[in-house]
Amino acid sequence: MVAIALGTGACRRRSPEERLLREFAGAYPTAARPNGTIHELDIVAAPTELPLLDGSGKLRVWAYNGQVPGPTLRIRLGDTLRVRFTNRLPQPTTIHWHGVRVPNGMDGVPHLTQPPVEPGGTFVYEITPKDAGTFWFHPHVRSSEQVERGLYGVLIVDDERPAPYDADVVWVLDDWLLDEQRQIFGQFNTMHDLMHDGRWGNVITVNGRTSERLQAHPGDRIRLRLVNSANGRIFKPDFGGLDVRILAVDGLYLREAIPYRGFELAPGNRLDLDIRFGTAASGLQPIVDRFYEQQTNHLADIVVDGVGARDPASERSFAPPAHGHVPAWREALAQPVTKQFRLNARRGGEHGIEWTINDAAFAGHDHAAPPALTMRAGTFQRLQFTNLSYRLHPIHLHGMFFRLLARNGVPVDEPFFRDTVLVHGQETVDLGLVPLDAGRWMMHCHILEHAEAGMMTTLEVLPPT
């Protein structure tokens, strides 16, 4: 293994790993750059009742600050967020900042990075994100129940100079499994959920509503941020004839914006879109989920009308924000696999079925178990996941981003990093990554029932040499 800072002498040939590291250098900041601005706020997790979904009646939920989705936190790159968190739930909990590269002690993983916050207890999270983008936060304790009951919120980190979009809109996609009383079905981790792709609900919402509608004007340019907060459901939104480009995936900008041609938005994934409306645009565009083509779902509507429209001459023509430095890593698949992970299921455990990584099922955030892999910060790693099951496994890594290199051995040139990738049934995927932040980080399936039934492990990153 060769660290980034070493071996850059010009007088000798570089090894393939050195070339991969050179390509990676500068891809994203290694350290936060605090600007001195601190946003202090209180977040309380508590049971409450909300008029949700289609507006008929009250839904008993668990909520951050009485809202589902929880509050959208918005700060600027370089700002510090200090959250005084209070747990008023009947269970222990934590907050995990999904996709944010935080110091290990702020990652919100019970036992591993902090004690669980007991009922009535408090914890202060203080983070200065290193990246601008769309992130979200949710519990990492009994998450298949706590997230399903409504505990999640969005964190937006604005660029130091945000692009001048006419509107910047968040859509949190979720689904709910309601019973005959139109309340959250009270059994979690059922055998059905565990044997399939987790808990898929019978009501789909965007921002907690079944009839979300985005109002646009002719000539508008809108940044739309999608977050999938569902336990198990994958969404593949279809935007019909709209002019849509992908700006960012899992928070980070692309090498350059690319036309949107569908995207499998798995639990945990985020997608930032640039939508341009022509000066003659009008009408209603239904946005439809086509993950299963034979069973599509209406998600929301985008309506364009001329009321309050801008002067057509002022149509927006700025360049979409982009990163410009996402390594192609064409040589990465020639590198040896650092570690292979086999994803599978077996009978046993407290739920009757266990989801395993390399034949091990994680239980109770057992911090005493050794990490599945130890990596040195600043080295290139090729991880390979082989799904021996027929179910879906969106694999999420805490504390680091990766690039998808191949599916079933076929190279994939995604011009973006990810923190979550969907591994389909019987599929093998290869990831490339350079860990930067030392600590013990979780790696798990983001189908929360699979995670709860064991499909979690830890990766250890040692400080750079």
Neighbours of 465 (CB within 10 A): 12
Q: Which is nearer to Cu ion, 198 or 320 (CB)?
A: 198
Q: Which is nearer to Cu ion, 58 or 192 (CB)?
A: 192
CA distance 255 to 47: 42
Task: State in angstroms the smallest separation of the CB of 393 from Cu ion.
Answer: 3
β partners of residue 348: none
Task: State in angstroms the smallest separation of the CB of 126 from Cu ion.
Answer: 32
Q: Which is nearer to Cu ion, 217 or 450 (CB)?
A: 450
Q: Which is nearer to Cu ion, 355 or 441 (CB)?
A: 355
Rounded to 5 degrees, φ, ψ at 42 are -105, 135
Q: Which is nearer to Cu ion, 170 or 194 (CB)?
A: 194
Task: State in angstroms the smallest separation of the CB of 197 from Cu ion.
Answer: 7
> CB-based burial of residue 9 (10 Å sphere; 0-12 exposed, 13-18 middle, 19+ buried)?
exposed
CA distance 310 to 331: 49
CA distance 250 to 245: 15
Task: State in angstroms the smallest separation of the CB of 387 from Cu ion.
Answer: 9
Task: State in angstroms the smallest separation of the CB of 321 from Cu ion.
Answer: 32
Rounded to 5 degrees, φ, ψ at 452 are -65, -30
CA distance 63 to 85: 13
Strands 73-76 and 153-158, sheet pairing: parallel
Strands of the 456-462 sheet, one edge to the other: 373-376, 456-462, 439-445, 393-397, 420-423
Task: State in angstroms the smallest separation of the CB of 276 from Cu ion.
Answer: 36
CB 44 within 8 A of CB 95: no
Q: Which is nearer to Cu ion, 382 or 450 (CB)?
A: 450
CA distance 58 to 302: 27
CA distance 432 to 23: 12
Q: Which is nearer to Cu ion, 377 or 395 (CB)?
A: 395
Q: Which is nearer to Cu ion, 270 or 450 (CB)?
A: 450
Rounded to 5 degrees, φ, ψ at 17 are -65, -40
Task: State in angstroms the smallest separation of the CB of 446 from Cu ion.
Answer: 7
CA distance 315 to 308: 14
For residue 387, what are its two tokens?
Answer: 């799904």
Q: Which is nearer to Cu ion, 235 or 277 (CB)?
A: 235
Q: Which is nearer to Cu ion, 201 or 454 (CB)?
A: 454
Produce one character per residue of 405-419: b if its CB has 16 or more CB atoms within 10 Å, e if not: bbbeeeeeeebbbbb
Task: State in angstroms the smallest separation of the CB of 447 from Cu ion.
Answer: 4
195 SS3 class: helix
CB 333 within 8 A of CB 318: no
Neighbours of 426 (CB within 10 A): 12
Task: State in angstroms the smallest separation of the CB of 195 from Cu ion.
Answer: 12
Task: State in angstroms the smallest separation of the CB of 198 from Cu ion.
Answer: 7
Sign for the CA dihedral angle at 390, 265, 72, 175 comes to negative
Residues lying near Cu ion in the complex (CB under 5 A): 393, 445, 447, 450
